[in-house]
Amino acid sequence: MECRPRFPSLKGIAFDLDGTIYLGQSAIDGAVETLAFLREQGLMVFYFTNASGRTREQVRQKLVGLGLEADLRQVYTSGFACAQYACAASLGEVFCIGTQGLRDELGSRGISVTEDGRSAQAVIVGLDPGFSYDRLAEAGPMIGGDCRLIVCNRDRSFPVEGGRLLPGCGPIVAAVESFFGREADYMAGKPNTFMMELLCQDWGLNKDEIAVVGDSFTSDMEMARRFGCASILIAEEKPAVTFDQMQVVRDIRELKDVLFTSC
């Protein structure tokens, strides 16, 4: 069924993942059908996640396993963005606090991960379920030098099944920044607009042709505000403050009515 778009200039939508498309290992009700409908209407679907623990390919495989169509080029993670930024900054060797997935993303951009703080040009910080006092201490030799501190994101938590929250990258970043006695030099993930900039560069889009859909006001909606594009927040209640070009829905299945008419 072909519908009439309410926003004729819109060509693609960047979807948050945790809490928007899936919770843990389960797709959110209506997500698979809604994204399939949007594709039928000719919209490009992109996947945006602050999760840095998996490579883009691992995220793609998870999406496909949940019944979603996913092309690797349409998957953007904060780990991938961090690797892109580090490459653009000509960083050859880095010390990484993060998962093997983050290390693999760095390696795919030709960046060597070292345990020798004397040769590291930067400390890269992502989500690390095995993070410990000892691992933090190993970053000690890089304090006070010219070593840059680059983080994937500052998310305090992320949602999983059963209404539970798990600690995100933010608490780890806070520990590292406290140890270093300074804030990070750069954050690659949301709400920074770097992933949006990469997307528009990769696909030849401008800010009027892309919209952001997510469940986080401080991450997804703030990124869209900074970038200057439209956004749709999925939330049980409308927040006290909203942004220009921002709409609020209670369920992902409502996107059909927000974006199209005469279906």
In a domain, 55, yes or no: no
**Is there a single domain that holds both residue 34 and residue 104?**
no
Residue where a domain terminates, one of 187, 204, 227: 187
DSSP state of 150: E
**Is there a single domain that holds both residue 113 and residue 37?**
no
Tell me the CATH number at 14: 3.40.50.1000
Range of the domain at 213: 4-50+190-261
- CA separation (Å) from 36 to 60, 122, 212, 216? 16, 41, 17, 23
* 39 contacts 15 by C-beta, under 8 angstroms: no
* 17 contacts 159 by C-beta, under 8 angstroms: no
In a domain, 17, yes or no: yes
DSSP state of 45: E
CA angle 23-27-28, nearest 5°? Answer: 75
Q: What is the C-alpha separation between 199 and 222, in angstroms, rounded? A: 17
In percent, the amount of the chain with pLDDT more than 70 equals 98
Q: What is the C-alpha separation between 12 and 95, in angstroms, rounded? A: 36
Q: pLDDT tens-digit profile of 38-59? A: 999 999 999 999 999 999 999 9
Overall number of domains in the chain: 2
Q: pLDDT tens-digit profile of 107-136? A: 999 999 999 888 899 999 999 999 999 999
What's the pLDDT band for 206 if we cut at 50, 70, 90?
very high
Q: What is the C-alpha separation between 68 and 241, in angstroms, rounded? A: 32
Instruction: For residues 4-28, give the mean pLDDT.
Output: 95
Q: What is the C-alpha separation between 261 and 4, in angstroms, rounded? A: 5
**Is there a single domain that holds both residue 28 and residue 86?**
no
The answer, yes or no, to whether residue 106 has pLDDT greater than 90, is yes
Residue where a domain terminates, one of 146, 169, 187: 187
**Ranges 14-23, 126-135, 145-154, 233-242: which has the least confidence:** 233-242
**Is there a single domain that holds both residue 90 and residue 175?**
yes
Residue where a domain terminates, one of 187, 218, 240: 187
What's the pLDDT band for 239 if we cut at 50, 70, 90?
confident
Question: 171: cis peptide before it, omega within 30°?
Answer: no
**Is there a single domain that holds both residue 168 and residue 209?**
no
